[in-house]
Structures are given as structure tokens and as C-alpha cells.
Amino acid sequence: MEPVARRPGKVRALMDLVRFEHTVFALPFALMAAFVRAGGWPTGRQLGFMVLCMVSARTAAMAFNRIVDVELDARNPRTAQRELPTGKVRMWEAQALVVASAAAFVLSARALNDLCFALAPVALAIILGYSYTKRFTTWSHALLGLCDAIAPMGAWLAISGAFELPPFFLALAVILWVSGFDVIYATLDLEFDEREGLRSAVRRYGLRGALRLSAALHAGFLVALLAFGVAAGLGAAYYTGALLAGGLVLVEHLIVRPWDLRRVNTAFFTVNGIISLGLLAATAVDVWVG
């Protein structure tokens, strides 16, 4: 039996494996959708199972991605110290985490409503299938955005139990936002991707072209945010948050230049975390204060 003293280290390693703290990117958009559709707080039951759905789906997807990419990660200097290549997490532990998380996702979807349960296998196919996309398409960035966009769409369906127009604009905003910053992040692996034959927008268009593409995607992100506000009947607080998010996206593009990639991590982690949490705060104020 593993000594009790080692358990916190193993839990920490599993959380690091899936970068649990990065849940901050997608979870606020799910909560935005839920608050808007519910006109305030969803029921405690709805909120609990929505959060469990989102966290368990993301955990399954990230752990599966690490399994699929373990050999690539081991050869990439940037990722060689990740948990699977170094043995901090064993392969069977990662596989068990995928199975347990996927099961938790399906069961949580079942607890929400029949539509969420019916769509759960489709969502799993998308978020697990993403891990293979950079081997055959330049547009893996868009597929990653689609994976994160499932969160706000699923949250809306959890409340409504039916498809409606507004969440499609929010989902589109997430796709464009995530695609744009994933293109920026991919600049760090240009040489490795070329050596391994992996595909990305950076490899296809070069640093300058990829960063211009990222800027265009982020411009579309702002337009989609504004369209969501119109479709959902939101007010001044939301639009203020959306415009501030647009300003922060501009900051990302000012601090990452083709000749200076030293601040990519700042753009990726810090600025995007502020964007998602800021939009959630602005939406909450709009919904509850009016």
C-alpha cells in the first residue's frame, strides 16, 4: 500500500498533468451562459452538475492528450519535464484518470437533462479526437477552440434543455478566442513542429503570418462577443466588459512580436485568465444589477 505521505505528491502530479488551474479559461464562459439563461443563479443542482461536467470533461481531454503525445513530449525540450515523460505519473494512472473523468462527465450530463446526456458522447468524441489533429491539419487550433466552446453551449443546454440562438454566438466567440491565442502559443514550437512533421498555422504561414491570423481571429472574437450581447439582450455592464476584453486582446498582440517571443507565456496565461474572469464579472453584474 502506498504510504499516506506520498499521496499529496501524487495528487499534485495528476493536477499538474492536466494543468487543472487552466480550467479558468473555459469555466467562466460556461458560467456566463448559465447565468444569462437562468436570469441569475441556476439551481444548486444545475450549477453543481454543470461545473462537474466541465471539469471532468476537461480533465479527460487533457489527460488523454498527454497520453497521445507522450513520445512527442519526451522529444520536445519545452515539454520533456511533463509528468508522463518523467514518470511522475505512470501511464496506467493517466489512463485511469481519463476513464474516471469521462464516466463522471457522462453521469453528470445524465443528471442534467436528456439532451445533455444524448450529446455527451458527441462532446467526448470531439474533445478526445482533438489530440490527433495536429498530425494531419493546420487547423488544430480551431478544433481546440471548438473543444472549449462546448462548455458554454453545454451550460446553456443544461438550463434550457433545448437549442437556442444566443449560445451559438458565445460558442463562436470562444472558438475564435482560443484559436487566436493557441496560434500565439504555437510559435514556441515552430522548430520542433518542423522537425517532427507536425502541422500548425505557424508552420504554414510563418511567424508574421500566423500572428496576423491570430489578430484577425481575435477581432472576430470581439464581434462575436458583441453579437452574443445583442442576441441575449444584455446591457451596458456586459458591453463594457466585452470592450475591455477587446483591449486586453490588443495587449496580447502588442507584447508578442515575431522578433520577440519572450512574453508568450504572459500573453497566454495571465492576459487570457484576466479576460475570461473579467467577462464573467461583467456578465454577472449585468444579469444581477441590470
Residue-wise pLDDT for 160-201, tens only, equals 999 999 999 999 999 999 999 999 989 989 999 999 999 999
CATH no. for residue 177? 1.10.357.140
In a domain, 136, yes or no: yes
Strand partners, 260: 257
Strand partners, 257: 260
In a domain, 120, yes or no: yes
In a domain, 6, yes or no: no
pLDDT value, residue 261: 65
What's the rounded Cα separation, in Å, for the pair 43 and 35?
10
What's the rounded Cα separation, in Å, for the pair 161 and 187?
40
pLDDT value, residue 268: 66
In a domain, 142, yes or no: yes
In a domain, 5, yes or no: no
Count of structural domains within the chain: 1
Domain span at residue 175 reads: 25-289
Which stretches in the chain have pLDDT values below 70? 1-8, 258-261, 263, 265-268
pLDDT value, residue 266: 64
Among 57, 78, 91, smallest CA distance to 191 is for 78
Residue-wise pLDDT for 116-127, tens only, equals 999 999 999 999
In a domain, 2, yes or no: no
Q: Cell 479527460 appears where?
A: 60
Residues in contact with 147: Cβ distance below 8 Å, sequence separation at least 6, in sequence order: 61, 126, 127, 130
pLDDT value, residue 151: 96
pLDDT value, residue 84: 97
What residue type is 159 in one-letter code? I
In a domain, 12, yes or no: no
What's the rounded Cα separation, in Å, for the pair 141 and 193?
14
In a domain, 87, yes or no: yes
Residue-wise pLDDT for 201-224, tens only, equals 999 999 999 999 999 999 999 999
